[in-house]
Amino acid sequence: MSNVIEVKNLTKSYKEIKALNDLSFEVTEGEILGLLGPNGSGKSTTINCILSLLKYDEGSITVFGKDMKPDSYDIKAKLGVVFQDVAVFDELTVYENIDYFCGLYIKDKATRKKYVEEAIDLVSLSEFKKFYPKKLSGGLLRRLNIACGIAHKPKLIFLDEPTVAVDPQSRNSILEGIMKLRDMGATIVYTTHYMEEVEMICDRVIIIDKGHVLASGTTDELKRLAKIDEKIIVEANSFDSKYIEEIKSFKAVHSADYKERVLTVSYKEGADNLVKIIEYLKKNHIKYSRVYSERPTLNDVFLELTGKELRD
């Protein structure tokens, strides 16, 4: 598989702030690459640099093996972009908006009509074809935004947090749509700070913070970085600190934290941990409302790597 995008040592400063700092990564053909990072980590800046919308200080960017420039129309013809902010015409209907943006790529009317209809189906907006964007709810608007960016069947698609404000049900249908696009042969760069989405759809993930790559790999590879294997969550209205200290000394326990009525116990490896905790709670007559076990998430990886939470 060849590399569709190669970003090397990309550095970009805005007036006051260094947004990208020696950022390098590749995107391989046919994959969904997740760019995961907290607010302000430089995800959108990276995309805008790749698209040649932003000037950058140092580094190089190639797309489809060629230098990306503002007048690389042959490359641009194969791109589809869904920007973070909704970009549609208030004066055009759902159908017209998609047709307009699709028409910037596809000349043939019959093909365009077909593509527009397919895009509408993909984001399930068929009932709203004649609606003006002002009449759409936030989530429907997001879906229109996506359709406008991908209707022309691009080979390489950038999706910058496309599911913000979308309800879980539509989010799932969007994510499925995105996987469908990949299965039809598109390469996808997907930015988000929802790790659940990343875990669900991304073939490979790059975690960035402060404009720099912290780690990359498949979700499983990354999770191994977290050094924890299992988490036990205990929801209890109060928890004496002497018990916490005692739990910390259990075998294989990595850490134990009581915050906002939730005790989180992380284990380096997991076997019978849940049973042991429940027994301990019973023995000490500690009242709790719920106790359950969790697999580590990318958030834990992020926590491990940076000492802070992925989402504030």
Partner 1 sequence: MFVHNFKYSLKALFRNKTLIFWTLMFPIILGTFFKMAFSNVTSSEAFKAINFAVVEDDNFKNDEVFVTVIKELSDEDGDNRIFDTTYVENEDEAKELLVDGKIDGYLVMPDKKDDTPGVTFINNGINQTIIKNVVEEIALNEKIGNEIGETIVKDEMAKGNFNIDIDGIYEKVMEKMSDETNLLDKSANKLDYSMIEFYTLIAMTCIYGGMLSIASINNSLANISQKGKRVSVAPTRKLVTVLSSLLASYVIQLVGLALLFVYTIFALNIDYGDNIAKVILLGAVGSLAGLAMGLFVGTVFKAGENAKTGILIAITMFFCNFAGMFGITMKYITDTKMPWLTKINPVGLITDGLYALYYYNTTDRFSADIINLIILTLVLTAVSFFSIRRRRYDSI
Ligand X SMILES: Nc1ncnc2c1ncn2[C@@H]1O[C@H](COP(=O)(O)OP(=O)(O)OP(=O)(O)O)[C@@H](O)[C@H]1O
Query: Can you tell me which of 19, 36, 68, 226 binds ligand X, judged by CB under 6 A?
Result: 19
Cβ 98 vs Cβ 116: under 8 Å: yes
- For residue 181, the minimal CB distance to ligand X (Å) is 22
Shortest CA distance to 262 belongs to which of 292, 283, 282, 285? 292
By CB under 8 A, residue 96 contacts partner 1: yes
How many angstroms separate the Cα of 115 from the Cα of each of 99, 149, 190? 9, 12, 22
- What is the residue whose two structure tokens read 């600190």? 241
By CB under 6 A, residue 24 contacts ligand X: no
- For residue 81, the minimal CB distance to partner 1 (Å) is 5
Query: Can you tell me which of 72, 84, 93, 299 binds Mg ion, judged by CB under 5 A?
Result: 84
Query: Can you tell me which of 9, 14, 77, 246 binds ligand X, judged by CB under 6 A?
Result: 14
How many angstroms separate the Cα of 84 from the Cα of each of 44, 73, 81, 164, 287? 8, 23, 9, 9, 45
Q: Closer to partner 1 at the Cβ: 88 or 116?
A: 88
Give the torsion sign (CA, 224, 225, 227, 231).
Answer: negative
User: In this chain, which stretch among 6-14, 27-35, 81-89, 174-182 interacts with Mg ion, using CB under 5 A?
Assistant: 81-89
By CB under 6 A, residue 145 contacts ligand X: no
- Tell which positions 52-91 bind ligand X, by CB under 6 A: 84
- For residue 278, the minimal CB distance to partner 1 (Å) is 52
User: What's the rounded Cα separation, in Å, for the pair 299 and 239?
Assistant: 24
Interaction partner, residue 42 (Mg ion, ligand X, partner 1, none; CB < 5-8 Å by kind): ligand X
User: What's the rounded Cα separation, in Å, for the pair 28 and 58?
Assistant: 23
- For residue 40, the minimal CB distance to ligand X (Å) is 4
- Tell which positions 25-44 bind Mg ion, by CB under 5 A: 43-44
Cβ 96 vs Cβ 119: under 8 Å: no
User: What's the rounded Cα separation, in Å, for the pair 86 and 223?
Assistant: 33
- For residue 284, the minimal CB distance to partner 1 (Å) is 57
Shortest CA distance to 71 belongs to which of 55, 53, 59, 44? 53
Binding interface with partner 1 (CB under 8 A)? 14-15, 48, 51-55, 70-71, 73-74, 76-77, 79, 81, 83, 85-92, 96, 100-101, 103-105, 107, 148-149
Binding interface with ligand X (CB under 6 A)? 14, 17, 19, 37, 39-45, 84, 193
